[in-house]
Amino acid sequence: MVKEDIRKVPVHLGFILDGNRRWAKSKGLPQLEGHRRGFNRLTELVDNCIKKGVKNVTVFAFSTENWNRSKEEVDYLMNLFREMLDKTAQKLHEKDVRVRVVGRIEDFASDIQKKMQEVMEKTKNNSTLTFNIGLSYGGRAEIVDATKRIIKDGLRPEDITEEKFAEYIYEVGQPDPDVIVRTSGEQRISGFMLWQAAYSEFYFTDVCWPDFDEKELDRVIDDFNQRERRFGK
């Protein structure tokens, strides 16, 4: 293990939060309880990332495809989002965390949209860590939405560069993720941050998301310190 005081710390970490339902099943709990335990883990993740010196965190909390799950599960998740935006967001604000919701916000009920906007406005000047929550998020949807905004703004083909395109993605102005973590043993990115992940490192762990603690985060950072990042050179 690399000594903590000399480790390189990723500036931006991305997390694909997987395994909530499998975790609950393994514990003999209702599957929906796994989602609650997973959401409870988010505040701890932010605390641990602040402690390590990470500046940006993006979590894949609800994909554009997740709307196809059962009505019971979707309704349960919507209520968790309401709770998170009401209670957890205030705690994050007190920790000087900037909260941003990335995704198709317009897909949500009006009261949830209002809460999202209020939280983003309230925390917009915080600077210790930026916490991006992917809700109704999909990497392809993000690229499509960016393209639509470019067309709407009337840009000419010769004006469009990689740098210009990056001004239209959901996480405009933020660095690309250094490491993308997926929990629960799956080894795919499921459309997460397709534009931003061009040179990201990937870390896959068998640990289900509700069990992802500070020790697991240390393993991610230690693994990152073993990688040689060449960026195509």
Residues labelled catalytic: 18, 66
Do residues 165 and 150 touch, judged by C-beta distance below 8 A? yes
In degrees, rounded to 5, the angle at the alpha carbon of residue 191 between the alpha carbons of residues 102 and 140 is 70
Render the burial of 103-136: b for 16+ CB within 10 Å, e for the rest. bbbeebeeebeebbeebbeebeebeebbbbbbbb
Q: Measure the CA–CA gap between 222 and 220, rounded to whole angstroms.
A: 6
In degrees, rounded to 5, the angle at the alpha carbon of residue 144 between the alpha carbons of residues 139 and 149 is 125
CA neighbor of 16 nearest in space, from 176, 220, 148, 193: 193
Q: Measure the CA–CA gap between 179 and 46, rounded to whole angstroms.
A: 16
What CA–CA distances, in Å, run from 163 to 10, 31, 100, 146?
22, 42, 21, 13
